[in-house]
Amino acid sequence: MRLLVRERLFAIGDDYWIEDTEGRKLFLVDGKAMRLRDTFELKDAEGRVLVELRQKLVSLRDTMLIERGGEELAQVKRKRLSLLRNHYRVALVDGTEMDVSGKILDREFAIEYDGELLAQISRRWLTIRDTYGIDVVREDADIALLIAVSICVIVLAEKE
């Protein structure tokens, strides 16, 4: 499944749609303005909240939390030693981890779980300016979680 994100609308307080390649609106990213920390809600096309993303207020390193139904689902933070590329660790509540690596600010990165590619984020496929794609590789993947991870690492990378 390939999703399109129009980056020029990507800002705190802005709402924007994530569409499929046919132009159908699938997910709404609802940016919450006037908050002490970065906060977003990812909603489906009917307006149901799928996951909430928020910056952790007190932590040694910038951390974003992903919650579903009021329960913490994952924490996203930058790995300590990453010299050439950006590397982020996604610690899931079940004790497993996802790895995000690549050129985050260039929107060229991958999300992996246990060495297996789950999603590829890229501008390469697109000719539309200020747009990047999220190509979900596994059919059984949690698409909302992968979108949330993508948003979190971009927000964290832009703050650095």
pLDDT for the residue 155: 86
CA distance 3 to 135: 6
User: What six digits make up the tokens of 4?
Assistant: 């399109």
The CA dihedral of 17, 92, 108, 61, to the nearest 10 degrees, is 100
The total of other beta-carbon atoms located within 10 Å of residue 21's CB is: 12
List, for residues 120-129, the tens digit of each pLDDT value: 999 876 666 6
pLDDT for the residue 128: 65
Closest to 64 measured CA to CA, from 53, 73, 72: 53
Across the 160 residues of the chain, what is the mean pLDDT of every consecutive 10-residue run? 72 74 91 64 94 77 90 90 76 95 91 94 74 89 94 86
pLDDT for the residue 89: 94
Query: Which SS3 state, helix, strand or coil, does residue 14 take?
Result: coil
List, for residues 141-160, the tens digit of each pLDDT value: 999 999 999 999 988 888 77
**pTM for this entry:** 0.87
Closest to 52 measured CA to CA, from 155, 152, 122: 152
